[in-house]
Amino acid sequence: MLGLMSGTSLDGLDLALCRVDGGSAHIVRATTVPYDEQWRGRLAGIENGTALDYAQTDVDLGHFFASEIKRFIAQGDDKVDLVASHGHTVFHQPQRGLTTQIGNGQAIAALTRLPVVCDFRMLDVSLGGQGAPLVPLGDELLFADYDACLNLGGIANISFRHAGQRVAFDICPCNMALNRVANMCGQSFDRDGALARGGIFNERLNKILDSIDYYGESYPKSLGKEWFISSFWPKVMLADDSPCNLLRTLCVHIVGQIARVVKNEHIDSMLVTGGGAFNDFLMQCIVDELQGVQVVVPDALTVNYKEALIFAFLGYFRYVGRNNTLASVTGAMCDSCGGSICGLLL
């Protein structure tokens, strides 16, 4: 199975070739294809384009995914049975029954001559759920040794067991905010958290961010780029502070929101993955704030490609007709087997 993931932080396309065997899965090999400036520009502003822009980008991104899939497959001799593509999220407004991911699955299937599972989220949203996070089923089956799994991607999200069932939700913006501030310094991201480490904490800004209504809402809940742009980012910009100070303050804010959840849920061990796990300053803040909690950062392959691995796992479940979405996580009326299958007759 080949899992594809394109996250909100716009780092690039993750491809993970995975061996899936019933209830287990592991990564065979993986790579990330960075988005060039043209693609980053298109994806960063696609929500503001016309309907034609959206439709064309959906197809073009599907062609891009397909070309990278073929290149990746050609680099090895492993047989690929199925592609599971999360796509790139443009809109996520489950309260309106809406979530959309681009990277056209039919285009991928036609060009790779492989069956493709895509559009994982819409069935759950149609059933009244958040459509996110979807990774917790993989956390439950593949990483059950930990009390919780924290992902530090564009958005920080967490999954854990509560009252005997798996629950999960988006905590707060993470790399989506940090990378945007790093861009002000001409950097795509704050390597090792060096800029944040040199900044000064802005207590006033942190208090403003901590007062955001979303943090007081009960789960299930999830965040989207639209919310970030309308409700979070303007507060950061109104602070009118230096990029280094903003980065340090954002790191403290992110850690504070994570710590609030971990402490409230009495979590003793936590697996941390996603690009933010490589941010030394952010991770040191987490460890310092959560003394007594076993914070585990696994091998780099798992840190980078855990989400792609789990989407390969979810794609397999969809292909064989097993439920891959948990209502206990999303708040939907029932568990479901989400995803559209493209190219079965190829």
What single DSSP character describes residue 268? -
**pLDDT confidence tier of residue 7, bands split at 50, 70 and 90:** confident
Predicted local confidence at residue 9, as pLDDT: 82
CATH number for 136-301: choose from 1.10.357.10, 3.30.420.40, 3.20.20.190, 3.40.50.300: 3.30.420.40
Outline which parts of the chain fall under CATH 3.30.420.40: 2-129+311-342, 136-301
- Average pLDDT over the chain, rounded to an integer: 96
Predicted local confidence at residue 11, as pLDDT: 87
Percent of the chain residues topping a pLDDT of 70: 99
Q: Quickly count: other Cβ atoms within 10 Å of residue 234's Cβ.
A: 10
- Answer whether residue 346 shows pLDDT above 70: no
Q: Calculate mean pLDDT across residues 312-329.
A: 96
What single DSSP character describes residue 336? B
Q: Calculate mean pLDDT across residues 217-245.
A: 96
**pLDDT confidence tier of residue 10, bands split at 50, 70 and 90:** confident
Here the tokens at position 283 are 């991770």
**pLDDT confidence tier of residue 271, bands split at 50, 70 and 90:** very high
Q: Calculate mean pLDDT across residues 72-90.
A: 96
**pLDDT confidence tier of residue 63, bands split at 50, 70 and 90:** very high
Contact 190, 279 (CB under 8 A): yes
Predicted local confidence at residue 293, as pLDDT: 98
- Answer whether residue 94 shows pLDDT above 60: yes
Q: Where are the beta strands (DSSP E) in the chain?
A: 2-6, 12-21, 24-34, 83-93, 98-102, 116-118, 148-152, 155-162, 165-173, 269-273, 294-296, 340-342
- Answer whether residue 20 shows pLDDT above 80: yes
SS3 104: coil
Q: Calculate mean pLDDT across residues 188-201.
A: 97
- Answer whether residue 101 shows pLDDT above 80: yes
pLDDT tens digits along 164-174: 999 999 999 99
pTM of the model: 0.93
pLDDT tens digits along 142-165: 999 999 999 999 999 999 999 999
**pLDDT confidence tier of residue 345, bands split at 50, 70 and 90:** low
Decide if domain 2-129+311-342 falls under CATH 3.10.20.600.
Answer: no
Predicted local confidence at residue 21, as pLDDT: 87
- Answer whether residue 8 shows pLDDT above 60: yes
Q: For 89-117, give one letter per residue: b (16+ CB within 10 A) or e.
A: bbbbebeeeebbbbbbbebbbbbbebbbb
* Sequence-ordered list of residues with C-beta below 8 angstroms from that of 320, at least 6 positions apart, any chain: none
Q: Calculate mean pLDDT across residues 105-127.
A: 98
Contact 73, 80 (CB under 8 A): yes
Q: How far apart are CA 8 and CA 18, in angstroms?
A: 23
